[in-house]
Structure 1
Amino acid sequence: MEEIRRAVVAYYEHLPENNKKLARKTFNAMDKNGDGKISLREYVDYLKKNKAADFTHQSLFTVLDEDGNGSLDFEEAIVLYYIMQSGRAIICQSCKTFLAGAYFSCSQCFFNDDSGSTYEICCACYGGKNYTHHGDAIFCDNYTLLRQSRSVIQEAPIKKRRKVLKIHKKRLLVAEITVGLAGITVGAADLASKSFCSIM
């Protein structure tokens, strides 16, 4: 989680002033009683009201609460903003904890699932084989999957590559976003059948 916090500080420093004001305004809207901190109840109520119930998981609130005092101050709350904007709010499909660091994804679900859903699990669940997923699943850690995504884009015909990169450029809201491959069909079926995520 410390790496995410460092990324947040760097990201926040580069925000335009109007975005910083918006972040403070959002914090104040969450802080219903105006005491300068966000309780778990205020956190959950605000996110549910704003149709962001996916972010109400207790493990996410717990890791956001860096000092462990049961509430979020502004510096802790902007980590939530970053996580929401960057797509980093990923929960282990097995133990249901927030994935703050390295994790494993099923490459078949990542590359081929048209529904947009993926299957991620924490290192402990993957290493301990504490998960239930399809038997031929090929798991990759998030860094390897990101690097493989770049390789697939590079291998695509130039016209498709430009189209995909243009789509992704529009979607980037922050510096660190998990790269998806929406729109690339060339080679995707072959990728799912290969153990292309090997790093050894």
Structure 2
Amino acid sequence: MEEIRRAAGAYYKHLPENKKEQARKTFNAMDKNGDGKISVREYVDYLNENKATDFTHQSIFSALDKDSNGSLDFDEATVLYYIMQSGRAIICQSCKTFLAGAYFSCSECFFNDSVSTYEICCECYGDKKFTHHDGAIFCDNYTLLCQSRSATQAAPTKKQTMVLNVVKKGLQVAGITSSDVGGITGIGDGESRSNCSIM
């Protein structure tokens, strides 16, 4: 979880002021009684009201509560803000814990148009404590990222541009890009391959 905390801290520092204000407003909206901290009840109620039920899992709240005092202060809540904006609220399909670090995904589900990519924690994968379809091949999240990049680069130029445009739109929808999402460029259209930005 410490890596996610560090990423969240860096993400927050680079947010434009209006996004920082939005994070503060979100915190204040969650903190119904105005005591400067978010209780489990306030957390769950706010997320249910805003139809963000993917984040209500107790293991996410517990992971966010760095000092284990049963509530979230603003710094702990900025980690939630980052997780929500980046889509990192991933729960192990076997033991139902929040996946804060490395995890495994079924590569077939990941690369197909499946609704679920079926992620499991390292312990459940290593101890074979999961049930999934026959012949499933699991890869860790870093390997899947590398395979995704390799598959994109191996595709014909027209398909590369299409894939990159889909990724760009996904980042915009997730709200984690700046107004200038032009950092992700089409390959083969005379633009740079390495100019990528999520902020």
Range of TM-score over shorter length = 0.7 to 0.9
In 1, the alpha carbon distance for the partners of 2:77 and 2:67 equals 12
Gaps of 5+ in 1: 176-200
Match of residue 40 from structure 1: 40
- 1:83-121 per-residue CA deviation (whole Å, 9 max, x = no partner) reads 111111000000000000000000001011x24321000
Deviation of the 1:163 alpha carbon: 1.1
1:148 maps onto 2:147 in alignment: yes
Match of 2:118 in 1: 119
Match in the other structure for 2:15: 15
TM-score by length of 2: 0.85
Secondary structure of the structure 2 residue equivalent to 1:140 = strand
Q: Does the Cα contact within 8 Å between 1:11 and 1:174 map onto a contact in 2?
A: no
2:136 equivalent to 1:106: no
1:47-103: CA deviations, max 9, x gaps?
000000111000000000000000000000111111111111000000000000000
| 1:30-69 equivalence runs, <5 A | 30-69=30-69
Secondary structure in structure 2 of the residue aligned to 1:166: helix
> Which residue number in structure 2 is paired with residue 165 of structure 1?
164
Query: How many angstroms apart in 2 are the aligned matches of 1:6 and 1:153?
Result: 29
- Counterpart of 2:163, as a letter, is V
Alignment match, 1:134: 133
* Structure-2 residue corresponding to 1:75: 75
Q: Which has the higher contact order (CA 8 A, sep 6+)?
A: 1
Instruction: Give the distance between the partners of 1:164 and 1:12, measured in 2 at CA.
Output: 28
Q: State how far apart, in whole Å, the 1-side matches of 2:168 and 2:33 are.
A: 39
Shift of 1:170: 2.7
Structure-2 residue corresponding to 1:193: none
Deviation at 1:169, TM superposition (A): 1.7
- Structure 2: distance between partners of 1:22 and 1:87: 18
CA distance in 2, matches of 1:100, 1:124: 13
Q: Structure 1 vs Structure 2: percent identity of aligned residues?
A: 77
- Write the distance in 2 (CA, Å) between the matches of 1:116 and 1:154: 25
Root mean square deviation of aligned Cα = 1.0
- Match for 2:146: what amino acid? R
